[in-house]
Structure 1
Amino acid sequence: MATTEIMNGHTTNGYTNGNLNGATNGATNGDYIDEEDQKYIEECERIHKLTRYDDGSVKLRNPHLELMDQDILYHLALGSGSHDLVEMFGDIKFVCMGGTPKRMETFAHFIMDEIGYKLPAGTQLQDISQFSYRYSMYKVGPVLSVSHGMGTPSLGILLHEMIKLMYHAKCKDPVFIRIGTCGGIGVDGGTVIISDDAVDGQLRSVYEVPILGKMVQRPAILDKRLVRELKSLADPEDPYDTITGKTMCCNDFYEGQGRLDGAFCDFSEQEKMEFLNKICDFGVVNIEMEATIFAALTHHAGIKAAIVCVALLDRLKGDQVSSPKEVMNEWQIRPQALVARFIRKRLAQAGQLKPLLHSGGSIKSPRRFKLVQQESEAHE
């Protein structure tokens, strides 16, 4: 049921040459670039100059941080002075975020199997941020799996500190991906949705926040080439659809999303349906509570980002999630599987994908293993 978006006879993912970080100059190999794509590419290049050092590592748009002796990432229980962040996180290429600690722990184990990553004998995955008592964080090789809670305030705090973590760790061109659940608009439960645009409750592609008493708007822009690449990885054999479309971000689960089943409701079912049909006609295919801030802050930081969710229901047919727990658990694996395909592809292009079946047991480097043997024999 899944389909791949094709333009001019070939997939338009915009990434070539086996580069782990993807192309920065848009579509290649003869892909057609329209005026909108060209403007987007130029905007990305402008932001890239502001947010990257020559080696590709993250540069922050905050001069005050350079004057600080230590930057404490309070909500992650990390600090630039107390931890060797380069040693701990310098190899990170993918930051995957989701709402709940349990979901992101599950994803950490899932991606560990998918990329063939092995922990040292006798060890297990550790929640790096467990002592923050706010977010969970698991590191699996070049992948971070992090929980962000619910809604824009919780995600906003995490994004500020994750972007700073990328800076302190000197990470080069990381990709951020939000993996979540949502309510579909005109799509069946179980459908995987890749956001190609993020809009707020007024259908504006911005994230609006009061700063020092003044309303500030930041454009909520997702990486279009990343959307195409993810869509191209949908398998025709998948027993579900994978689609792209606009995602509406609301500041509330009940009234803000037009639900009739909250503690309060001052609108009729007819008004609700008129609103849902209006946003459907506008191109909105799902509703959640994080898209605009995720798109806006990653774009402002010059970080390529994408949102991949699974619909738990079609809001045109009802308000309450009523599918059995085991069904929803299976549905939530679907966006994780797509993101895993993307990570595997990028690692394979860069020659960094470990085989899933290791014939060499736990020996990482035969040469170093031989040196250890020789050193041990010398002390016998």
Structure 2
Amino acid sequence: MATPQPAHAGAILPFPARPPAPPLLLSPPHLAGGELDRVRETMEAGWLAPAGPTPAAFEDALATTTGMQSVLATASGTAALHLGYRVLGVAPGDEVWAPAMTFVASVAPAVQMGAIPRFLDVVETGWTMDPGLLAEELSKAARRGRLPRVVVPVDLYGQCCDLDAIVAACDRWGVPVMCDSAAAMGATQRGGRHAGRGARLAAYSFNGNKIVTAGGGGALAGDDAALLARARQLAGQAKEAWPHYEHETTGYTYGLSSVLAAVGLAQLSALPARVARRRDVFARYVAGLADLPGTGFIAEPAWGRANRWLTVLLIDPAPFGADREVVRRVLQAAGIESRPAWKPLHLQPAFRDAPQAGGATAAALFERGLCLPSGTGMSDADQARVIDLIRSCARN
């Protein structure tokens, strides 16, 4: 008896359907080209742990890039912030002040340490912490005898906050400033200083979506060598200088692995080109969308140069003809990732009871803001497709 054959046996089958184009992501990793060689050298030398020549070389390169005297490479940007809070003396019940508009990691470590966050509104043009509001709130806090332990401004979407004004307001009351510069590698502020320079400490991230990525990792930096030495000890489980394991306090396993440091070291050489490309992406969006009614972008101050990590489009629904969510869904249907601007922390359920000062500006930016694909590897054709789809949503 003959073996039954499938219906298509002997037939010429059509080619399978072409797989859908890969989604266009917000900010995917972009390899610089030398990562594999750096990783191979590190592994052939036998280094994997957060020790040895590669993490040290990465720290030295970061010090050169940022102008900071001391740099500690860490397992993540959040770990860097946690260490910063620790060495600045944050304790249960202390207040930590941050802008309302930022990612949760800016304050999460302090909250986990028992601190109370207070969220301040942002300026309407640059979207970063409002220095005038900060000064007013510090004066009020001094009168009631409850100054914050630390103020943590954020360089939002790669644009520097007005750090000089923030530090001046805090210096009046002896409050240290730790700048969350996680997304601002390569951005500059007054006098050409690197993002975060001028704060007591600055934290950076090398997460997979950043301009310089190690696939993870971060760094804590500053000009106070003793403070960074203390952070380094805590990052290594707070071991004391004894031949046996001696601990006067507890620490963390927060060092950056040699393998990730090798990737970061290779990436860092491409930083100037990456910043130039992100700025070009931003300029293309402005040129392609700024004529539409009800649209806007973050304003760059004359005293700074943003790295334009992400381009964020503001959409006013009435004149534009659609709201942010309509545009986001149209892009999503076309395989293009976009995302609302940061939801302000004072609106997050986790912080429903946290004190705040203002917040209307941050809330309005969240309602109107949409982060657009901004990767340095994105083609001009892909960006043109994003622009065309956004334009198709506008009222004709």
Per the normalisation by structure 2, the TM-score is 0.26
Larger Rg: 2
Q: Which has the higher strand share?
A: 1
